[in-house]
Structure 1
Amino acid sequence: MKRMPFERPTQHYDERILHIDEQICELLKQRKEISNNNPGYPPFEYIEKWSISFGLYEDYLKEVFGAFRSEEFYKPVIEPQGFRKHIPILKSLEYGGFFYSLISVRQYSNASVITFNMDWDITRDHSTHSNIPIYFELYVGEEYDCRMDSGTSTSGHSSHNYVISPPLPDDISGMEFIFRKFKEPFENNLIGTEINEIILRAD
């Protein structure tokens, strides 16, 4: 998803806290490494205790630890440039009343883009699904960065675009496109349903 450039909110900075801010950055790095980049979120009783111990507002600390969980959102964004061609995939999977499909890969000079579709019969009862906000993360291999760029949803159909960088090879035979279900972006726990992954394999 596209982000607006961040503007410095004030020109003031107290240079006396420079060393403290460097220590904060160092501790954030240690926190990420020790937790294998999966720190979770502290129990509220811990936050309440820290609020009292350090004289900080409890709701402020809740926001701070919430922000710690969203580092992935700030990865540099690759904008596809230099369209080259379409590569057909034409793969689908039907499960649990939902029809998942991939039509093609759009190849650019600096990235690839795919559209993941989900269709369902609106006359059937999907109330068990409608109250669960589902976010799909795409995985195609350790060497690729995948991010959801945009999406739309209407009655009986949803469609989401994913940007993959670096670009996929023109020969994608045998590659697997794995869509993992999460309740929200940057969440590390898969939704506890019978099927957590939608796997579509290019022939």
Structure 2
Amino acid sequence: MSFEPIERTNSYYNESLLSIDKKICNLLNQRKVVQGKNIFFPPDEVVSCFAEEYDLQEEYLQSIFTTMAMEASLKPMVVPVEFKKYVPVLKMYENNGVIYTVTFIRQYANASVLYLDTDWEEAKENSEDNYNPDLFELSINDIYDCRSEVGGGTTGHMSQNYIISPSLPDDVSGIELIFKEPGRPFKVNSTGFEFTIKLG
């Protein structure tokens, strides 16, 4: 994900704002350190209190906390180059009649590309029992950056691609892939569902 640079109406900057802006950046960094890889949002009632105390709009504050949760998705995405080989995996996880499968990994000089397939038996049309597939976030450990590239599917099947950098070793034995349903703000009614597929 990326954003176009903001088109500025003028280049003037009030230097008296510099110390304030520096404090804001310092606090953003402090918050990032405390929360780690988790994403935390103040409860709505807390945001309401903040808005009243500091004379700010609630929606404005909600948008700020939402933007803070997006930093990782704004990092430049690695573009895989120099294809090397396929690494067969064929590992799966089943939950409530839904099968999640990793069949293989594409190895490149600077990254790996992993594919997660989701398959389920579709119920009758307009049935409440129909499975509503999710796009998952992938994490491994602090060494690897995992970014979802694209996802999509058809009735009873969905596939999602991930770019992992640096590239995984050719021997992936013991590596654990942690797939997690995105939380708020990306999915308001998140159940927190996650599962692990161990390779090798």
TM-score grouping bracket, smaller chain normalisation: 0.7 to 0.9
C-alpha contact 1:94 1:100 (8 A) present in aligned 2: yes
1:184 positional shift: 5.8
Rounded Cα–Cα distance in structure 1 between residues aligned with 2:106 and 2:185: 24
Q: Secondary structure at the match of 1:49?
A: helix
Cα distance 1:30–1:142, how it changes in 2: closer, same or farther (>3 A)? closer
C-alpha contact 2:81 2:109 (8 A) present in aligned 1: yes
Q: Deviations over 1:38-78 (max 9, x none)?
A: 46222333323332332222221221122122222122311
Q: How does 1:162-181 map to 2 (within 5 A)?
A: 162-181=162-181
Q: How does 1:115-130 map to 2 (within 5 A)?
A: 115-123=115-123, 127=129, 129-130=131-132
**Alignment match, 1:34:** 34
**Alignment match, 2:60:** 60
* Paired residue total: 195
Structure 2 residues not aligned, in runs of 5+: none
1:37 positional shift: 5.2
Please report the TM-score for the alignment, with normalisation by the length of structure 1: 0.81
Q: Could you tell which deviates more after superposition, 139-148 or 28-37?
A: 28-37
Cα distance 1:186–1:84, how it changes in 2: closer, same or farther (>3 A)? farther
Structure 1 segments of 4 or more deviating over 4 A?
A: 183-187
1:9 aligned to 2:11? no
Cα distance 1:184–1:111, how it changes in 2: closer, same or farther (>3 A)? farther
C-alpha contact 2:92 2:102 (8 A) present in aligned 1: yes
Cα distance 1:50–1:101, how it changes in 2: closer, same or farther (>3 A)? closer
**Alignment match, 2:74:** 74
**Alignment match, 2:134:** 134
**Alignment match, 1:104:** 104
1:167 positional shift: 0.2
Cα distance 1:174–1:39, how it changes in 2: closer, same or farther (>3 A)? closer
1:173 positional shift: 2.8
Cα distance 1:46–1:191, how it changes in 2: closer, same or farther (>3 A)? closer
**Alignment match, 2:88:** 88
C-alpha contact 2:180 2:192 (8 A) present in aligned 1: no
**Alignment match, 1:202:** 199
C-alpha contact 1:182 1:191 (8 A) present in aligned 2: no
C-alpha contact 2:47 2:62 (8 A) present in aligned 1: yes
Cα distance 1:68–1:140, how it changes in 2: closer, same or farther (>3 A)? closer
Q: Secondary structure at the match of 1:160?
A: strand
Structure 1 residues not aligned, in runs of 5+: none
Please report the TM-score for the alignment, with normalisation by the length of structure 2: 0.82
